[in-house]
Amino acid sequence: MFSRRAVAVAARSARSIARPQPPLQFQPRLGLARAQFSSTTCAKAAPADVENQQDDPEMNNNYINPPRVKRSHRDPYADWDDKQEMRNFGEPVHEDNDVLGVFSLHDYTFMSTSRGLLLWAGFISAVLGVYYGVSATYPGKPSAPKEYEGGLFEELGGPGAVRARMAGDPVDEEQVTGDLQHNPQISRDVVLNQGRETQV
């Protein structure tokens, strides 16, 4: 059966439920709850906050932080009590110890910014130099189209086929002068040959 203690606890809780509750001082309103703000409360609280900020400027409950130095920058060969974390027993830790410890990300100290910019400038100037060298020495396309003996009449299909250019065909002057203006590397022989064709 039940113990006397369990029966007494059950009877006490039943009596407290049956007891009439005091009337509520305010009726709860249906809808969204609103936060209670008042300008007087804010004005009263302001001086205390200012004093607290002056007493505790870093807002860390006046914890005295050691210098913010990553453990990976410490001497790994020094006589540390904890060789892995590189710290001594009882040494205070910084409040940001999770980002300053041995297992945090390492700082990139292998190359300075000026050296990196110098290497980038060298790479870009080398690429532009190769581009300029190729464009300056690249042979231009010929200004006169290639001519074939007999216009390849039979090779292209005989009567009714569009034949290739042959010697004696008229030259499109606009194309030739445009090519001469845009490409100064046209050989002198091509220019002289065009002069002979126009004289004949």
Question: pLDDT tens digits, residue range 58-102?
Answer: 777 888 888 888 988 899 999 999 999 899 999 998 888 889 988
**Lowest pLDDT segment from 67-81, 114-128, 158-172:** 158-172
Q: What's the pLDDT score for residue 187?
A: 46
Q: What is the DSSP string of the chain?
A: ---HHHHHHHHHHHHHHHSPPPPPSSPPPSS-------HHHHHHHHHHHHHHHHH-TTSSTT--PPP---GGGS-TTS--SBTTTTB-TT----TTHHHHSTTSPPP--SS-HHHHHHHHHHHHHHHHHHHHHHHHHSPPPPSSPP--GGGGTTTTTSTTSPPPP-TTPPP-HHHHHHHHHH-TT--HHHHHHHHHHHH-
Q: What's the pLDDT score for residue 141?
A: 73
Q: What's the pLDDT score for residue 113?
A: 93
Higher pLDDT, 30 or 63: 63
